[in-house]
Amino acid sequence: MERLRRSMLFMPGNNPGMLQDAAVLGADSIILDLEDAVSLTEKDSARILVREAIKTIDYSQVEVVVRVNPLDTEFGPHDVEVIARVKPDTLMIPKANEEAIKLADKMLDQIEIEEGYLAGSIKLIALIETALGLENVYNVIQASKRMVGVLLGGEDLTSDLGIERTKEGEEIFYARNKVATACRALKVDSIDTPFTDTDDFEGLAMDTAKAKSLGLTGKSAINPRQIEIIHSVLAPTEAELKHALRILEAMEEAEKEGKGVFSLDGKMIDAPVINRARTTAELGQRLGLIER
């Protein structure tokens, strides 16, 4: 079954206590960060710490994503070289563009051969946080078969655009649309930028709902206390689930009767509506909200 990536929790790669407990905090994915959370003087020690953590700690309950440094810095390639050898699930490439994704892909090809790992088993997620990366996001996703998702980095993107980042987030409306659409087209996950006020849970819920309404499939978190709210917003509501199940039941009925198109409550039900109902019901099942 495909991974759920509703929530991806950033954890600083230089904090042993947090690395130890990262797996039990309830997030679908944890992002062990070697980039922004780690100061220049600690880049090497954090890299070693994260490597040892992956070797030592049982992370089987979560997806382990390591955010390496940008590949055009002196740290980035070294991070890939060291971390890929202990086989994280996924690497996250910051300041992503086609070139960086292709470089990471090539390095991973080589490491997988050397270490005897299944080819293509280490996945990639692109962190889109520049205007260039955003405009080119479709090609970035296509740059490697390893790509499983895109994370939109709202802070860096607005900085690159020279515009103000606000709590309401109207300024990233286009970026959210663009990322969501490209990801949907290429069938990878689209993860929204984190909500940075860790004490404003109402704001977090609104921000998550906004991302969900634009088609993003997950949201990143910078504090463990954000996870539960993200999951509750992204889960289908009871009404959505009931409606989806009714559509699927009606479809089964129609199939028995040999009807292609049918109607429910006076509305015509066709393929897109059925597909949507199927997606909702599947998600509901995976989250344990409805029985299989």
Partner 1 sequence: MKSIKTILDRELPDYIDGYGEVKPFQGAFSDGGIKTRKAVKLTSVTPYDRKVLANLEQVYDKLNMKDGMTISFHHHLRNGDHVLNMVVEGLAKRGIKDLTIAASSIFPVHAPLVEHMKSGVVTGIVANYMSGPVPEAISRGELKKPAIMQTHGGRPRAIESGDLHIDVAFIAAPTADTYGNINGVYGKSACGTLGYAISDAEYADKTIAITDNLVPYPACPIEISQVFVDYVVQVESIGDPKGIVSGTTKITKDPVALIIAKMAAEVIKASGLVKNGMSFQTGAGGTSLAVAAGLKDIMKREGVVGSFAAGGITGYLVEMLEEGLFKTLFDVQCFDFKAIESYRNNARHQFMSASMYGNPHTKGAVVNNLDIMILGATEIDTEFNVNVTTSSNGVIMGGSGGHSDTAAGSKLAIVVTNLMKARLPMIKDKVTTITTPGENIDVVVTERGIAVNPRRMDLIEKLSRTNLPLVTIGELKTMAEKITGVPKAVRNSEKIVAVVEYRDGSVIDVVRGSRDTSSAMRSSCQTRALILDA
Contact residues for partner 1, defined by CB under 8 A: 16, 19-21, 24-26, 44-45, 48-49, 52-53, 56-58, 223-225, 288
- Beta strands 262-264 and 267-269: pairing type? antiparallel
Residue found under tokens 């996250």:
92
Q: Measured from the CB of residue 56, what is the shortest distance to partner 1 in angstroms?
A: 5
Q: 157 Cβ partners below 8 Å, 6+ apart? A: 128, 129, 130, 131, 134, 172, 175, 193
- Beta strands 147-152 and 189-192: pairing type? parallel
Q: Measured from the CB of residue 169, what is the shortest distance to partner 1 in angstroms?
A: 25
Residues present in the chain in total = 292
Q: Measured from the CB of residue 83, what is the shortest distance to partner 1 in angstroms?
A: 14
Q: Measured from the CB of residue 227, what is the shortest distance to partner 1 in angstroms?
A: 9
CB atoms inside a 10 Å sphere around CB 160: 16
Half-sphere exposure of 285 (CA within 13 A, CB side): 11
**Pick 51 or 95: Cβ nearer partner 1:** 51
The torsion angles phi and psi of 179, rounded to 5 degrees, stand at -65, -45
Q: Measured from the CB of residue 282, what is the shortest distance to partner 1 in angstroms?
A: 18
**Pick 21 or 99: Cβ nearer partner 1:** 21
Radius of gyration of the chain (CA): 20
**Pick 20 or 275: Cβ nearer partner 1:** 20
**Pick 24 or 209: Cβ nearer partner 1:** 24
Q: Measured from the CB of residue 9, what is the shortest distance to partner 1 in angstroms?
A: 9
**Pick 57 or 274: Cβ nearer partner 1:** 57
Q: 119 Cβ partners below 8 Å, 6+ apart? A: 109, 112, 113
**Pick 82 or 126: Cβ nearer partner 1:** 82
Cα separation, 177 vs 174, in Å, equals 5
